[in-house]
Chain A
């Protein structure tokens, strides 16, 4: 009898824990939507989503102008793209080495190191970007007679790529290492070499989990703020030139919220508008990717 009551209690307790997490999530979304709608009452959704100039200010007449968010989203996209161009190929290749080629000793040493590296505060990477990489990039650009802004998209993107790399590598390595030995044996038993086994059997088999790793890394890149503040700046240029200064959505959110403005100021509320759109975009991205993974699994079993 006693154990039955205990079972019931434990069950209820864990259910409440789970419920709590869900309720908090819903609460966050609702509050975000609420503030976002207050913002869209002052600035039209169309002007916000398709406006090409980001220079938010409230005129003495009370009119809010310069709330075009396009430059912020292109900036985010540009920096994220550069970061992923670094992190995806490097991360996958390092993971393949660690999982398939490295002796057990190296793997056991490098894996925890990677995890420590993944835990370094991004601020530290920001310092690296500002003090080491920026001058280096300027020197390189000068040899090719190019002009590069002291704060540039490529600088932020590169450092962000380096920042994500350990995280990405660790996730990809898990995805590969988790594959059963029987797959490797099956392939080797047919006379395949290690590289053929990796390319033709292991990578396709791990593909859904690799995609999940890319996605998690992508989310981190999109959400990253500190590196961009230090390396790419605050200038909302609408540009796809990686040598120019750009800014991102998250940086502008921080920028809007710091300062001593009233909380129902259009500028402050714009932060929620940006947050809301960012939220929707990452949600769509996640759903699409999950759908893709599911479809892949259905086709390939």
Chain B
């Protein structure tokens, strides 16, 4: 199996506190990997290591390797800016910029100068919104403020914004936790479609969601990666008793 990203012996520290211990995990290309585990287990921290969002946090310190297509993203020569165009991110709470719908999607292409003419930019915006399943709902009101969209629409806008820069991997940090069931269903459907083009990593508290959208599931506990296997196998025949306990609802 080819791994799009491969994490080797990853340790993460916030100041003196260690948040992740010796994590090894390969992320298969064009598949969705779900990260599950009780609150505070390190799954979100792990996700943020994958595009160096921990760099924003002072005193965060990483040891080990995170390979993207065989290149260590923590190597000193790596440009964080171009890394983040390859590994995009969607956050827990929808966080559109307080600007128009159009400008939100155009933001990434603008800062990375991915177009030559205005019509090229229009095309990028349209394509991204179509892929995010939002085009039909917003095509007549692109100049309107993004803040006026519903929560579910805002989250799909954030997904459109992330795919507008042509990433290879998309990281999603509990993307549905602030959404109602209908909006959640739409985003899940979208994740399934996006898998054709992108490698996806999703953190979720919702085990059914993990089972529905992912091909691989990784269970984290107290900063350790306990078990990572093909999703169906992990849910039906967990090897570790902590995994068993978590998926049967005994704790977490």
Given contacts A191-B165, A200-B107, contact A301 B82 (CB under 8 A): no
In the assembly, what is the distance between CA of A193 and CA of B81, in Å?
A: 7
In the assembly, what is the distance between CA of A184 and CA of B53, in Å?
A: 11
A185 neighbours in B (Cβ, 8 Å): 53, 56, 89, 91, 95
Taking a contact as CB atoms closer than 8 A, the residue among A186, A193, A196, A301 that contacts B95 in the complex is A186
Given contacts A185-B53, A190-B111, contact A299 B145 (CB under 8 A): yes
Kindly report which residue of chain B lies nearest to residue A301, judged by CB atoms.
Answer: B145
Q: Is B68 an interface residue (CB 8 A)?
A: no
The answer to whether A196 touches B56, judged by C-beta atoms less than 8 angstroms apart, is no
Kindly report which residue of chain A lies nearest to residue B98, judged by CB atoms.
Answer: A205
In the assembly, what is the distance between CA of A180 and CA of B93, in Å?
A: 11
The answer to whether A301 touches B165, judged by C-beta atoms less than 8 angstroms apart, is no
Known: A185-B91, A188-B84, A191-B165. 12 other contacts (CB 8 A): A103-B58, A189-B88, A190-B88, A190-B111, A191-B82, A191-B84, A191-B111, A192-B107, A299-B145, A300-B98, A301-B98, A301-B99
In the assembly, what is the distance between CA of A201 and CA of B161, in Å?
A: 14
* Chain A, 3-50, CB within 8 A of any chain B CB: none
Taking a contact as CB atoms closer than 8 A, the residue among A182, A184, A192, A300 that contacts B111 in the complex is A192
The answer to whether A182 touches B161, judged by C-beta atoms less than 8 angstroms apart, is no
Q: Is B100 an interface residue (CB 8 A)?
A: yes
The answer to whether B158 touches A191, judged by C-beta atoms less than 8 angstroms apart, is no
Kindly report which residue of chain B lies nearest to residue A179, judged by CB atoms.
Answer: B98
In the assembly, what is the distance between CA of A180 and CA of B81, in Å?
A: 21
Q: Is B38 an interface residue (CB 8 A)?
A: no
Taking a contact as CB atoms closer than 8 A, the residue among A190, A193, A299, A301 that contacts B161 in the complex is A190
The answer to whether B97 touches A205, judged by C-beta atoms less than 8 angstroms apart, is yes
* Chain A, 75-118, CB within 8 A of any chain B CB: 103-104
Q: Is A183 an interface residue (CB 8 A)?
A: yes
Taking a contact as CB atoms closer than 8 A, the residue among B82, B91, B146, B147 that contacts A189 in the complex is B91
* Chain B: minimal CB distance from A197 (Å): 9
Q: Is A204 an interface residue (CB 8 A)?
A: yes
Interface string of B104-125 (1 = CB under 8 A from A): 0001101110000000000000
The answer to whether A186 touches B158, judged by C-beta atoms less than 8 angstroms apart, is yes
In the assembly, what is the distance between CA of A201 and CA of B93, in Å?
A: 17
A104 neighbours in B (Cβ, 8 Å): 58
A103 neighbours in B (Cβ, 8 Å): 58
* Chain A: minimal CB distance from B149 (Å): 9
The answer to whether A300 touches B100, judged by C-beta atoms less than 8 angstroms apart, is yes
Q: Is A122 an interface residue (CB 8 A)?
A: no
Q: Is A237 an interface residue (CB 8 A)?
A: no
The answer to whether B146 touches A301, judged by C-beta atoms less than 8 angstroms apart, is yes
Taking a contact as CB atoms closer than 8 A, the residue among A187, A190, A299 that contacts B85 in the complex is A190
Taking a contact as CB atoms closer than 8 A, the residue among A188, A196, A200, A301 that contacts B53 in the complex is A188
The answer to whether B82 touches A182, judged by C-beta atoms less than 8 angstroms apart, is no
Taking a contact as CB atoms closer than 8 A, the residue among A180, A189, A193 that contacts B162 in the complex is A189
A191 neighbours in B (Cβ, 8 Å): 80-85, 108, 111-112, 165
* Chain A, 134-166, CB within 8 A of any chain B CB: none
A183 neighbours in B (Cβ, 8 Å): 95, 97
* Chain B: minimal CB distance from A192 (Å): 5
The answer to whether A189 touches B89, judged by C-beta atoms less than 8 angstroms apart, is yes
* Chain A, 37-77, CB within 8 A of any chain B CB: none
Kindly report which residue of chain B lies nearest to residue A104, judged by CB atoms.
Answer: B58
B110 neighbours in A (Cβ, 8 Å): 200
Given contacts A186-B91, A187-B97, A189-B89, contact A200 B51 (CB under 8 A): no
Taking a contact as CB atoms closer than 8 A, the residue among B82, B99, B111 that contacts A196 in the complex is B111
Given contacts A188-B53, A301-B147, contact A204 B98 (CB under 8 A): yes
* Chain A: minimal CB distance from B84 (Å): 4
